[in-house]
Chain A
Amino acid sequence: MGMMELPDLLERVRQIGEEIIGPNAADVDGQGRFPTEGIEALKKEKLLSALVPVDLGGMEMTIDDLTKICTVLGKYCSSTAMIFAMHHIQLACVVRHGLSSPMLRTYLAELVEKQFLIASVTSEVGIGGDTRSSLCAVEVDGPRFVLNKDSTAISYGAHADDLVVTCRRNKDAASSDQVMVLLKKGDYTLEQVGSWDTLGMRGTCSPGFKLRSTGPVEQIIPGAYGDASSQTMVPFSHMLWGGLWLGISSAAVNKAAAFVRKAARRTPGQVPPMALRLAEVSNKLQSMRANVNDMANECAALQRSPDGNEAMLSMGFALRMNNLKIYCSSIMVEIVHDSMLVCGILAYKNDSEYSLGRQLRDAHSAALMVANDRIYAKNASLLLVHKDV
């Protein structure tokens, strides 16, 4: 198959980061434009099908390895890394819940060949960030369905090939009785509502859209979204986000460290005062990395284990995955901020090699990509009955 081993693949992604993604990051941010060249370079390496099983032509990559790729990408461009992560969150849902469907298997084989980009349509006007309720419903009529949704944000909606949409199972279903539906290019139209002129993550191009669609019923992903959410959507989201946020954070600390080393070379024998703050921020980065690695190992072990899918429905797992997201999103803001203080005015300037403005603005998106307080509220409720804290 000529498949690359992980270290070689990570090195290849690092090269793409150095040569293509990194050099374009400031322009992507400045213009708030889709990072076309970076995503195209990843497609050339067939990385958009990394999660697809080997027998369908993919790499069958595990969640811990994919997390490492997100970390490398995060060092160069938060938006590119986020697009890559969000695509894989949707792909994971199709791979892990759709393989019993011949049509979805055919779709995945085609995705390997054509490197389709999949966007996510979970949040909804009138619901906000509560992914476990929907207002909209898929309406089946014979062999086809109709599905319409008013979404508050669809990242790279205008640049995606396909979409995965959450909705109620039918128009009489309860708001939490949801399914996922795959929409292929040609099945849907998107009418943009509003703009995406944000503080950070500007290259994700995530305005609201009115979605109108129809397609064959085989594209309704089998099973209940409630289970898929606990077993796939939430763990993959929090894990891959954690991975890319770790990349953003470690790139910031690297800049601070380079700054301190430079200062130290000017005055050998004297520890520069800001080295103390560097020591402090490196401590935070280590905790963050440990948290990401620990949960990546747990997820990978569960996915290998025969009763892993059952274990992922447990409250303990949900609590830990939620804690990962809350911790990483909060500590990243501290880490980038602390790194800025180490470099001082040179990090605050937008045109210096130590500039950290873009990373700081990007970092602030993390706490609201599903509001941390919403997630804390879920954990608070779980802890009323979960015992092993």
Chain B
Amino acid sequence: MELSFRFATRPTNSYQMTIDDSIRKVLKDHANLSVDALTVAEDADLYKNGMTSQTGVNVMLALEGAFDFEFPDTMLNRSVFQTIANIRAAVQKLTEKN
């Protein structure tokens, strides 16, 4: 599952599912949320649900590892990581470049 999205060439529905699944798994493992990362709404504020700047860094690192890219510094701010929808937009932007 970790690899499937890398070979997807265009953002189909299932491709998006995979990105979301990966993001949610990273959040579950690293964000230390007070809610279930697998089911939390995609527009819920993750910082209000227990993510801190410390666990936020862990999430960034794990996403960089999972998707095999590096976030440019301009993307490393609270708003980019505030919601699952925002994270997905950032991930899509970076994976589509390749």
Footprint of B on A, CB under 8 Å? 132-133, 169, 173-177, 224, 226-227, 230, 310, 313-316, 378, 381-382, 384-388
Contact = CB atoms under 8 A, between A and B. Distances in A.
Given A132-B53, A381-B57, A385-B61, A177 B77 contact: no
Contacts of A387: 70, 72-73
Interface in B53-89: 53-54, 57, 60-61, 64, 70-74, 76-79
A313 B56 CA distance: 13
Nearest to B64: A385
A234 to B, nearest CB: 11
A381 B77 contact: no
B83 to A, nearest CB: 13
A387 B51 CA distance: 22
Contacts, number: 61
Contacts of B10: none
Contacts of A226: 47, 53, 78
A104 B35 CA distance: 34
Given A385-B57, A387-B70, A173 B77 contact: no
Interface of B: 34, 47-54, 57, 60-61, 64, 70-74, 76-79
B60 A385 contact: yes
A225 B51 CA distance: 14
A85 B47 CA distance: 29
B74 to A, nearest CB: 7
A141 B64 CA distance: 44
Contacts of B49: 174, 177
Given A313-B78, A381-B54, A385-B64, A174 B48 contact: yes
Given A175-B52, A381-B54, A385-B64, 8 more contacts: A175-B50, A224-B47, A314-B77, A315-B76, A378-B53, A384-B57, A384-B61, A387-B70
Contacts of B54: 378, 381
A184 to B, nearest CB: 27
B77 A310 contact: yes
A388 B53 contact: no
A224 B53 contact: no
B7 to A, nearest CB: 26
A312 B79 CA distance: 12
A119 B27 CA distance: 37
A227 B74 CA distance: 17
Contacts of A378: 53-54
Contacts of A314: 73-74, 76-77
A173 B73 CA distance: 30
A263 B73 CA distance: 53
A230 B73 CA distance: 16
A177 B48 contact: yes
A315 B73 contact: yes
